[in-house]
Amino acid sequence: MSNRILTKEKFKKWLKSKSSKTKVGVAAVCAHCPVAWFLTQTTGKAYEVDGTEYLCVETWKDYALPRWAQDFVTSVDKCQGSISAKKALQLLEAA
């Protein structure tokens, strides 16, 4: 898999497809990061995300996060608890 599946544009479109109050992840939990939820929901495979890479749990292959995603994950992990689609979009725009 390449980073073509994880583009800022695709991620932003996915967030915008959600209601603003919809929970799209949890801060500081690798399997519940909004990027992990995006990858899991769009590929049908479970993913985990840390600050620099994402891992397909089924294949144990890891991939480097694009810079924009690293910045986004850092911002998310400074928050606490659940992340709404609205909050995620705000953080993405600021990252």
> How far, rounded to the nearest angstrom, does the alpha carbon of residue 17 sit from its chain's CA centroid?
14
Distance between CA 73 and CA 58 in Å, rounded?
22
Cβ 69 vs Cβ 9: under 8 Å: no
Judged against a pLDDT cut of 90, whether residue 81 lies above it is answered with yes
Q: How many helices (H) and strands (E) does the chain have?
A: 4, 5
Domain of 87 in residue numbering reads as 3-94
Give tens-digit pLDDT for 40-72: 999 999 999 998 999 999 999 999 999 999 999
pLDDT on residue 1: 46
Average pLDDT, the chain: 94
pTM recorded for the entire structure: 0.93
Q: How many domains does the chain have?
A: 1
Confidence band (pLDDT; 50, 70, 90) for 3? low
Cβ 26 vs Cβ 83: under 8 Å: yes
